[in-house]
Amino acid sequence: DAGVIQSPRHEVTEMGQEVTLRCKPISGHNSLFWYRQTMMRGLELLIYFNNNVPIDDSGMPEDRFSAKMPNASFSTLKIQPSEPRDSAVYFCASSYGSPGDTQYFGPGTRLTVL
């Protein structure tokens, strides 16, 4: 299996622009997680889906952030409008969805907002 695939790997954009991050989970996995990692705040869970349904979005910072999972093999995280404080590495992870299951992480998208 190719593992969790994220695109783009790097994104540089200007403040105010829309940013869309993409994730393809491992085939057969039922849960998908979006994380943000920064030096200041560490690893933060933004939102997670189970069977394509958002279960917990309490970590989404504000209305500028939105996430969708239209099918079992694709998810997006959108930031509109982007701000410099959104600069971070964004990870997508997937798992089979049972308690105790391992989460498999993608390589991440490094976002820089100028």
Interface residues with another protein (CB under 8 A)? 4, 31, 33, 42-43, 45, 48, 50, 55-56, 91, 93, 95, 97, 99-108
The number of beta carbons lying within 10 Å of the beta carbon of residue 98 is 8
Letter for the amino acid at 24?
K
Taking the complex as a whole, how short is the minimal distance between the CB of residue 87 and another protein, in angstroms?
16
Nearby residues of 46 by Cβ (< 8 Å), 6 or more positions away: 34, 35, 36, 57, 59, 60, 61, 65, 67, 77
Instruction: Report the alpha-carbon distance of residue 68 to residue 85 in Å, rounded.
Output: 22
Nearest to 106 by CA among 50, 29, 19: 29
Q: In the complex with another protein, which residue's Cβ is closer, 74 or 105?
A: 105
Distance of closest approach, residue 108 Cβ to another protein, in angstroms = 5
Nearer to another protein, 33 or 65 (CB): 33
Rounded least distance, CB 66 to another protein, Å:
19
Q: Name the minimum Å distance from CB 105 to another protein.
A: 3
